[in-house]
Each structure stands twice: as C-alpha cells, then as structure tokens.
C-alpha cells in the first residue's frame, strides 16, 4: 500500500516537473531500458532517445485529467519503451521476431496512439513558432512559454510601455494562430 | 484593430481577469453571438496547445539535465569509456574531502586518475589500420586547408596554413585537423568577432588527421558549459547535418552550410570518416559537423577533388580516442571533459547556430 502511495506521489511530481521526482523515476528505470535496447540492436544514444520519449509520454499522461495508471511505473515505462523500440526496429528494417522480454508488459497501444497525436501537435506548434520572424517569436515565447509578465517583456524588448508590447504581442498571436490552425486542420 | 480588442477580451475572459460585470456582459455576448462563442472555444483550445507545448519543452530540458547529472554521478552509464570516467569521478568524490585537508594528496590523486584512465581505456587495435586507410585517402583527395602565399601575411613568422576549429572543453581545448597545422610550430585562433588568441599545438595525430590546440592567452575567458556535445556513436544515413566554419580564410566571417550524411563510410570505404553531401571550401578544414540536435558528429576534413559537393568528415568518436591518447601522453591534460548531452536539442536552427558560433574559431598556423 505504501509503495502505491509513493508511486502516486512520484507521478504527481512528474506532472509538476519536479526535479526530485524526475530523477527518482529516471534512476529507477533507465538501466532496465538501456539494457533492453542494447540487447536488441540499439546504441546508447538510441536507448536515451527511446527512454526520454517514454518519459514524455508518461508525463503527459500524468498531466491529463483522465489519468489512471493501472500498473506500476516501471512496468508502464518498460512497456512503452519496448513498443516504441520495436516500432523503430521495424522502420529500420532490422526487425527480428525474437525480441527478448526482460520484464512483464502491459498493453500500451492506445497510449502510444495518443502520444503519437500529441507529438504531431507539438511538431505543428514548433513549426509554426519557428516560421515566425523576430521579435514576434521571442515575444510569444517569453509570454506563453517562459510565462514572463508584460512589464518585464516590454523592458527586455525595449518597448516604451507594457501596452505597446501587449499590442504587438496580440498581433503576433493572431499570426501564430493562423499558421497553427492552417497546419493543424490539414494535419489532423 | 477590432480583432485585437476582441482577442484581448477573450484572453482576459479565459484567464479570469474580467470584472464580474464585464464578465456577465461578455457571457451574454457569447451566448448570443455564435461567432464569438466559436472564437472563445478556438482560443481556449489554442492556449491549451501552447501550454502543453511549453510543458513538454520544459520537461525535455529537465530530462536532459537529469540524464547528465545521473551520468556524472555514476547512477547510469553509457559504455566502457563512461564507466572509467565515472569511476574516476566516484574516486574523486570520495577523496575530495581528504584533499581539502591535505593538499599534498592532490598530486597522488592526479597520478591515480591518469593511471585509471589509462587502465580503463585500452586503444583499440583497429586504430592503426584505419589510419593507414586514411593515408591512402589523402593521396587522392585534396586537403581543404589553405596554402597561404607568404607575402600576403604581414607578420615576420611565415604562415603555414589555416582552417577552422572548435572548442571541446571550455578551458580552451580546440579540435582541428592535423593537416591544418602541417609544418607549423604554433597557431593563433580568431573568434567570429576577429579577436585573436595565441594557442599551442598540444597534441597531433597525423594518421587520424586530428589535432588538439590549447588556447594559452590571458585574454581568453574560460567557458563554463559548452552548449553542444560530442556524439559517441555514428550518425545515420540521411541525417540532416550542418557546419560552421571559416571558408573565407583569412577573413573571420563565420559561414553556415547545410547538407546530409550521404554515406556512413568515407572515401574508398574508409571507416574512420563518413561522406557528406555538402559543398566545402578551403578553410572549412577542422570545422565541426553538427546533426540537427546540436551534437558534433564529425570534423570536416577533405573533399573529392573531381566532384563538387562531396565532402568527408572524420567521425566524432575519433575525438574521444584522440583525447584519451592525449591524456596518456600528457598527464596534465587529464582535466579535459567533454559533454555527453547537448543543450541545443529544443532550439531551432537559427538559435543553435547563434549559440554555437561563439565557440568556433579560425586557425592561423605559423612557424616560429
């Protein structure tokens, strides 16, 4: 019972981007995943990429409202990594039918599908932001990503007052939204 | 302008900063006007997208940092070489307290570290063979570094050549090609602003065609953390790559160029190098080749004389080997540390290049 509570607290920490929680989950699971990838045709770099992708999937799952984890964290992480790595092997044409399994696994197909969708959305936003010119890009990043307040932003960008910066920000935001939705609607 | 006001109102409505009366008015407006209702829904969804984007970006950063931290603590490790380093770190951590009490022990630890590094990193027997292959390559491939006409250079010491280089350790250790330094005894390096620093040739391996320069100049400010890492494993076929260098030697304008990895092997199947599809010019020699994550995957060194746009880069894992050899030859160098994790992963190309170009230097080699 106690370990279940711990796991719940860890996931809560992960959702809040708490370094201590991330470190604990990382430490408890990384070596297992690395061993699996290395044993199955992969490199250290690939192991790191796969593991971090699974961590992102877990983070986004933990953040969502409908979140329930029905198994232990390590089973979940291992299952996601395994599935992602098999997919990657298939893409590379290196697929071997006898991929060994070190741990028990749970079905994560649905979660991976959700993750894939979120990946696509992330990429669309990244592209849309990337195609914005300056100072729009930095202004929007400052406000919406770094969560700086308008006063500080106005100062950093040299606007005479916060209202001017705010106006500029809204103009930029409209352009960004247009770009995002143009891609989003095709992409979906 | 009207759109902006509306957007502003929607944003205030969504983040709850509207006054109750204003809010009631807006809600009524929303109920009665289908378009505004639509806009509110759309904007709320968009803000949600921005939020997850921002959250994921922060998470990616945290993961990179945690990875680097656990790696240095020895909680995770990435292969034999890392194990050795980690062990050294562990031993160092263990002795750190002792060292503060008895400074004299310091010398002993330094000796121990270098012995350990030597012990845990035997040279692979393949290295010499690969080196010979490179020599054959060099006969047929034109070296990219500049041959300088002496009269054009206004110094007393004859300039023997030049090229590009990049920092692998913020303390002032640079990597360049050995052929850039052919016939030279010293070098000066220039940053993108044209600022000059004197450097010594710390280590050179002609077979690998790699060399280490060390900046020894009072004006040089050591850099605490380099933004990029050196990749230990090979890049993949088709990977998009780019380079930053000084092809306009001896002018110090940084030039950016982009291409892709066209073969994991170099000229005539050479496994020490890889082939990249990218035009390169004299002066690019010794420059770093990056993948899109901002990891160094190679050192640009040669190009095919006959065909345009076919260039070769020495794979980055050779840098690790070179540094290990250097540490064996010179125990004072055992403090060279290379990063495993790039911090540029989430940056777009423009800001990657902006951050990197501070650490790429032009080399001017001369004979005293």
CB contact under 8 A, B55 and A126: no
Residues B245 and B354 in one domain: yes
Distance, CA of B189 to CA of B179 (rounded, Å): 16
Q: Which chain B residues have a beta carbon less than 8 Å from that of A171?
A: 4
Q: pLDDT tens digits for A37-61?
A: 888 888 888 899 999 999 999 998 8
Which of the four pLDDT bands, split at 50, 70 and 90, describes residue A107? confident
Residues B14 and B99 in one domain: no
Q: How far is B324 from chain A (nearest CA, A)?
A: 20
Residues B220 and B362 in one domain: yes
Distance, CA of A116 to CA of A121 (rounded, Å): 9
> Could you tell me the end-to-end alpha-carbon distance of chain A, in angstroms, rounded to an integer?
42
Top pLDDT among A77 and A96 is at A77
CB contact under 8 A, B53 and A145: yes
B17 touches chain A (CB under 8 A): no
- A26: phi then psi, degrees, rounded to nearest 5: -60, -50
Best residue in A42, A145, A166 for a mutation probing chain B (most B CBs within 10 Å): A145
Distance, CA of B336 to CA of B317 (rounded, Å): 15
Mean pLDDT, range A62-70, rounded to an integer: 77
Residues B240 and B293 in one domain: yes
Q: Interface pTM (ipTM) of the complex?
A: 0.86
Best residue in B45, B51, B63, B83 for a mutation probing chain A (most A CBs within 10 Å): B63
Q: For residue A30, is pLDDT > 80?
A: yes
Select the residue of B46, B55, B233 nearest A45 (Cβ to Cβ). B233
Task: Return the structure tokens found at B331.
Answer: 């125990």
SS3 sequence of chain A? CHHHHHHHHHHHHHHCCCHHHHHHHHHHHHHHHHHHHHHCCCCHHHHHHHHHHHHHHHHHHHHCCCCCCCCCHHHHHHHHHHHHHHHHHHHHCCCCCCCCCCCCCCCCHHHHHHHHHHHHHHHHHHHHHHCCCCCHHHHHHHHHHCCCCHHHHHHHHCCCCHHHHHHHHHHHHHHHHHHHHHHHHHHC
Q: Which chain B residues have a beta carbon less than 8 Å from that of A145?
A: 50, 53-54, 57
Domain boundaries, position B55: 2-68
Q: What is the pLDDT of residue A94?
A: 64
Residues B43 and B191 in one domain: no
Task: Return the structure tokens found at B71.
Answer: 């790696």
The contacts of residue A78 (CB under 8 Å, 6+ apart) are A29, A32, A33, A36, A102, A103, A105
Residues B115 and B235 in one domain: no
CB contact under 8 A, B54 and A147: yes
B73 touches chain A (CB under 8 A): no
The contacts of residue B151 (CB under 8 Å, 6+ apart) are none
Q: What is the pLDDT of residue A52?
A: 94
Q: How many domains does chain B have?
A: 3
- Which chain B residue is nearest to residue A13, measuring alpha carbons? B59
Separate counts of helices (H) and strands (E) for chain B: 8, 14
Best residue in A48, A184, A188 for a mutation probing chain B (most B CBs within 10 Å): A48
Q: Which chain A residues have a beta carbon less than 8 Å from that of B42?
A: 181
Least Cα distance to B301 among B289, B309, B313 occurs for: B313
CB contact under 8 A, A170 and B7: yes
Residues B225 and B316 in one domain: yes
CB contact under 8 A, A170 and B231: no
Q: pLDDT tens digits for A126-150?
A: 888 888 887 888 888 888 888 888 8
Q: What is the pLDDT of residue A59?
A: 92
CA atoms within 13 A on the CB side of B317: 15
CB contact under 8 A, B8 and A166: yes
CB contact under 8 A, A17 and B52: no
Residues B168 and B216 in one domain: yes
B238 touches chain A (CB under 8 A): no
Q: How far is A104 from chain B (nearest CA, A)?
A: 22
CB contact under 8 A, B50 and A144: yes
Residues B243 and B344 in one domain: yes
Q: Which chain A residues have a beta carbon less than 8 Å from that of B348?
A: 126, 130
- Which chain A residue is nearest to residue B53, measuring alpha carbons? A122
Q: Which chain A residues have a beta carbon less than 8 Å from that of B231?
A: 45
Contacts A–B by Cβ distance under 8 A: 94
Which of the four pLDDT bands, split at 50, 70 and 90, describes residue A96? low
Which of the four pLDDT bands, split at 50, 70 and 90, describes residue A97? low
Contact (CB, 8 A) for B180 and B287: no
Contact (CB, 8 A) for A114 and A95: no
Q: What share of chain A in percent tops pLDDT 90?
A: 12
Residues B231 and B164 in one domain: yes
pLDDT in tens, chain B (368 residues): 577 788 888 888 888 888 888 888 888 888 888 888 888 888 888 888 888 888 898 899 899 889 988 888 888 887 644 444 444 545 555 454 444 444 444 444 554 554 444 444 433 333 222 222 233 333 334 445 444 333 333 456 788 888 999 999 988 999 999 988 888 888 889 888 888 898 999 999 988 899 999 998 888 888 888 899 999 888 888 888 999 988 887 778 888 888 889 888 888 788 889 999 888 888 889 999 999 888 999 999 888 877 778 889 999 999 999 998 888 888 777 788 888 788 888 788 888 888 898 899 999 888 87
Distance, CA of A37 to CA of A42 (rounded, Å): 5
Q: What is the pLDDT of residue B212?
A: 93
Q: How far is A103 from chain B (nearest CA, A)?
A: 19
Best residue in B12, B38, B59, B73 for a mutation probing chain A (most A CBs within 10 Å): B59
Contact (CB, 8 A) for B22 and B9: no
User: Omega into B250 within 30° of 0, i.e. cis?
Assistant: yes
Best residue in A52, A117, A166, A180 for a mutation probing chain B (most B CBs within 10 Å): A52
Residues B353 and B303 in one domain: yes
B61 touches chain A (CB under 8 A): no
Give, as one character, the DSSP assignment of residue B146: B
Residues B116 and B130 in one domain: no
Contact (CB, 8 A) for B208 and B134: yes
- A99: phi then psi, degrees, rounded to nearest 5: -75, 125
- Which chain B residue is nearest to residue A32, measuring alpha carbons? B76
Least Cα distance to B148 among B120, B183, B99 occurs for: B183
Please provide the size of chain A in residues. 188
Least Cα distance to B289 among B177, B364, B201 occurs for: B177
Select the residue of A26, A129, A166 nearest B66 (Cβ to Cβ). A26
Q: What share of chain A in percent tops pLDDT 70?
A: 89
Q: Which chain A residues have a beta carbon less than 8 Å from that of B53?
A: 121-122, 125-126, 129, 145
Q: How far is A81 from chain B (nearest CA, A)?
A: 16
């Amino acid at each position: 019972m106690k370990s279940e509570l711990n796991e719940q607290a860890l996931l809560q920490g992960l959702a809040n981007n708490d370094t201590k929680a991330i470190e604990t989950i990382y430490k408890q699971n990384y070596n297992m995943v690395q061993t699996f990838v290395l044993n199955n045709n992969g490199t250290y770099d690939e192991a790191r990429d796969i593991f971090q992708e699974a961590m992102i999937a877990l983070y986004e799952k933990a953040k969502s409202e409908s979140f329930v984890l029905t198994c232990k964290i390590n089973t979940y992480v291992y299952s996601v990594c395994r599935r992602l790595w098999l997919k990657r092997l298939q893409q590379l044409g290196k697929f071997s039918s006898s991929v060994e399994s070190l741990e028990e696994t749970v079905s994560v197909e649905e979660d991976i599908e959700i993750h894939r969708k979120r990946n696509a959305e992330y990429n669309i936003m990244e592209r849309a932001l990337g195609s914005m010119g300056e100072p729009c890009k930095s202004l929007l990043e400052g406000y919406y990503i770094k969560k700086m307040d308008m006063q500080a932003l106005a100062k950093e960008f040299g606007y005479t007052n916060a209202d001017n910066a705010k106006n500029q920000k809204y103009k930029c935001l409209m352009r960004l939204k247009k770009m995002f939705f143009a891609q989003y609607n095709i992409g979906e | 302008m009207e759109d902006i006001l509306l957007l502003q109102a929607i944003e205030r409505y969504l983040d709850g900063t509207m006054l109750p009366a204003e809010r009631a008015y807006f809600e009524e407006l929303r109920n009665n006007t289908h378009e505004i209702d639509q806009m509110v829904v759309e904007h709320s969804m968009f803000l949600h997208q921005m939020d997850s984007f921002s959250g994921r970006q922060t998470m990616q950063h945290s993961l990179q940092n945690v990875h680097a931290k656990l790696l240095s603590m020895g909680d995770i490790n990435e292969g034999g070489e890392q194990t050795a380093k980690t062990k050294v770190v562990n031993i160092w951590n263990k002795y750190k307290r002792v060292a503060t009490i008895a400074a004299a022990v310091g010398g002993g630890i330094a000796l121990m570290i270098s012995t350990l590094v030597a012990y845990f990193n035997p040279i692979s027997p393949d290295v010499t063979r690969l080196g010979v292959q490179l020599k054959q390559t060099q006969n047929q491939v034109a070296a990219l570094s500049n041959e300088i006409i002496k009269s054009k250079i206004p110094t007393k010491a004859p300039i023997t050549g030049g090229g590009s280089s990049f920092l692998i350790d913020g303390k002032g250790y640079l990597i360049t090609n050995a052929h850039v330094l052919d016939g030279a005894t010293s070098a000066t390096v220039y940053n993108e602003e044209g600022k000059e620093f004197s450097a010594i040739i710390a280590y050179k391996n002609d077979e690998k065609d790699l060399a280490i320069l060390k900046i020894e100049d009072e004006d040089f400010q050591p850099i605490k953390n380099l933004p990029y890492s050196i990749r230990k494993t090979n890049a993949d076929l088709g990977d998009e790559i780019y380079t930053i260098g000084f092809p306009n030697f001896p002018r110090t304008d940084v030039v950016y160029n982009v291409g892709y990895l066209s073969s994991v092997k170099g000229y005539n199947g050479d496994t020490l190098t890889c082939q990249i599809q990218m035009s390169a010019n004299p002066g690019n020699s010794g420059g770093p080749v990056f993948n899109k994550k901002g990891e160094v995957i190679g050192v640009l060194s040669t190009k095919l004389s006959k065909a345009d746009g076919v260039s070769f880069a020495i794979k980055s894992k050779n840098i690790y080997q070179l540094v290990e050899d250097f540490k064996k030859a010179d125990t004072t160098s055992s403090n060279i540390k290379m990063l495993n994790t790039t911090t540029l992963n989430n940056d777009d190309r423009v800001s990657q290049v902006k951050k990197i170009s501070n650490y790429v230097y032009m080399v001017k080699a001369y004979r005293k």
